Amino acid sequence: MITTSPQQVAEAGRKPGWMRRANLDMVGKLVVIVGLMFAFGYAMVPMYKHICAALGINVLSLAEQQTPGALANRKTNTQVDLGRTVTVEFDANARGPWDFKPEVRHVDVHPGQITTVMYEFRNVQNRTMAAQAVPSYAPKQATAHFNKLECFCFNEYTLKPGEARRWPVTFVIDPRLPKDVQTITLSYTFFEVGGKVPPAPGGRS
């Protein structure tokens, strides 16, 4: 027969309270960690934009920023280098539970050739959300030669639950791209953001 001493009974009575305090402490720490993660996610986009602005590598390439009106002129005055082909790869990263992807993974283009690709986005959450995309390029020496004529990046858009959009990216590669660059990767990372949001671009649902 197993007997239980009064001391053991008292200790057993104290354990639930101790465990509750430990659980509450753990929950509090997790709440703080989650809060910091969300704060960091919201801060990443404006931090990235300020860094890019300081370095001159934000939504427009250096070549696009140096000559006002150059993009409009290039639409009709483009010199296509038919003797050279560059592979452009497209990547998409979604920082959140939604679908975001390019319709094609890569295209082969001639420097000076105007090309349009589409990106697809779907809000699979059961709530309205605001989000925006941040681009990056590889290799770095291609950044100044990758000129976007139309892009959804660096603008914030609102999508309702289940809403889908197709957004275009129109670009042209400067024929002065270094000869050793044969492949360029254009990558977009989509973040959820807060604040006032402009109307979504004229994409097709």
The structural domains of the chain, with segments of one domain joined by +, span: 56-193
CB atoms under 10 Å from CB of 111, counted, come to 21
Q: What is the pTM of this model?
A: 0.58
Residue 92 near residue 113 (C-beta atoms within 8 A)? no
CB atoms under 10 Å from CB of 137, counted, come to 17
6-10, 71-75, 111-115: the lowest-pLDDT one = 71-75
- Does residue 169 register a pLDDT over 80? yes
pLDDT score, position 157: 85
Confidence of residue 201 (pLDDT cuts 50, 70, 90): very low
Average pLDDT over residues 94-117: 91
Decide: helix, strand or coil at residue 51: helix
What is the CATH class of 56-193?
mainly beta
Report CA torsion sign: 69, 138, 152, 109: positive
